[in-house]
Amino acid sequence: MDVRDAVFGIGSRRRFLAHLARLDLPVGPGDSRPVTEDDVASLPKPAQRYMRLMGVVGRPRDWSFRVRFVGGLRRAPGKRWMRAVAWQYNASLSVARIFDLRMDLGGVLPMFGSDTYVNRRGRMFGKLLNVLKVVDGSGREFDLGELVTYLNDACLLAPSMLLNDNVNFAAIDAESFDVTLVDADNEVTARVFVGSDGRLVDFSTTDRWYADPHGLVHARWTTPIEGWITNGDRLLPSRGRAVWHVETGEFEYAWGSFEPETLEFNVPPTTPARSQRGPATGERRVGRAVLDALSGVPLFVSAPLIRRWHMRWGASDAEVSGPMPGDEIVPKASFNATRAITIDALPERVWPWIVQMGYRRAGFYTYALLDKPGTRAPTASCPSTRIRRSGIGCRCRRRSTRPRRSR
């Protein structure tokens, strides 16, 4: 373990466990009946070979697993690889996948992301420095994409999780089979390729969408496996890759492996060891504060590198260079920033959100670190007629104007 892992590893696991606790996932246990030969006898021949090789027969069905992933990611072909470390939890009682990731942009700036499938909905979320939101994707494409990634994880790590009523297998040939997973209104299918020795060699699906500069594109996604290792009485992929197959060719955007010593099966979302620790002591709180403070150091080091990008965050060239209402009030401003977002809604749907912003009203729909000091309640989650609206000439206060009192 390097210094970077020593500093951030503890915090990443703590954030991951806290994330799991907030989701209120089923704690198990699952079906403890051992898998029998009859359970796999009806599967396609290559699926039978794989199940037997993985030691599924005779072992109780797996219903969850937790593991740490270490590898690399890159944003586009030819771009620099970024180190990535993630904690992951999958469960089949209520189909769920939580993948909390930390990677270093440019080898310096930490970005924290989360890919989730919970309550039949998928989401991809990321914050630079764990403060600035840079990715937030949801919708039908993410529902299916995250669900088929759950299917991929189950095939690789816990294939007995697929021996349920919501999973169907179909024979293709002597070395491949199709597997379909249904979760309410979400249905995904993948083709699994198995070698003559029973080892899984590749997983292919078209139920994912590639994010190119022009938007989401339906594309084939594969995860070829380079080898397998023995981990106790189980087999574990030694190294794998994730590849997009797009019009311009193949794009390998991820590689990595699961750390064998962190892999646990049939565990609740939060471990008993964590719940037994009790409230944090003063020394532990100080230690956590120091670790969290260290994660902000790159912000000060790299601020000159990201300032120009941040000053025009989300704005087009035309929006940055064009005139804006109010420019005539301060024609030669000492500070100028143009930031923008695109909201896919009619103006009359957006306006009620804007006119309720402010201190002791709806908040500012921003980061909790900035929002909560200026309001006695969290940011509003919907427009409300109970909140006093702004009118022409009204001030939008950021904080209380009353003088502070001291004793």
- pLDDT for res 199: 96
- C-alpha pair distances (Å), 100 with each of 10, 87, 295, 323: 13, 5, 16, 41
- Host domain of residue 320: 313-340
- pLDDT for res 7: 45
- C-alpha pair distances (Å), 187 with each of 59, 140, 177: 28, 11, 17
Q: Could you write out the DSSP letters of every residue in 211-225?
A: EETTEEEEEEEE--E
**216 and 362: one domain?**
no
The structural domain count of the chain equals: 3
**243 and 108: one domain?**
yes
**261 and 199: one domain?**
yes
Residue 26: Cβ within 10 Å count: 15
| Domain assignment of residue 283, yes or no | no
pLDDT tens digits for range 329-386: 766 665 678 888 777 788 888 888 888 877 667 777 765 555 555 444 445 656 666 5
**247 and 333: one domain?**
no
Residue 40: CB partners within 8 Å, gap ≥ 6? Answer: 47, 48, 51, 52, 56, 57, 163
- pLDDT for res 368: 55
**79 and 37: one domain?**
yes
Residue 356: CB partners within 8 Å, gap ≥ 6? Answer: 362, 380, 383, 384, 387, 388, 389, 390
**264 and 395: one domain?**
no
- pLDDT for res 399: 59
**9 and 132: one domain?**
yes
Residue 285: CB partners within 8 Å, gap ≥ 6? Answer: none
Residues of the chain with pLDDT under 70: 1-11, 106-108, 271-310, 330-335, 359-360, 366-407
**272 and 384: one domain?**
no
**178 and 258: one domain?**
yes
**358 and 319: one domain?**
no
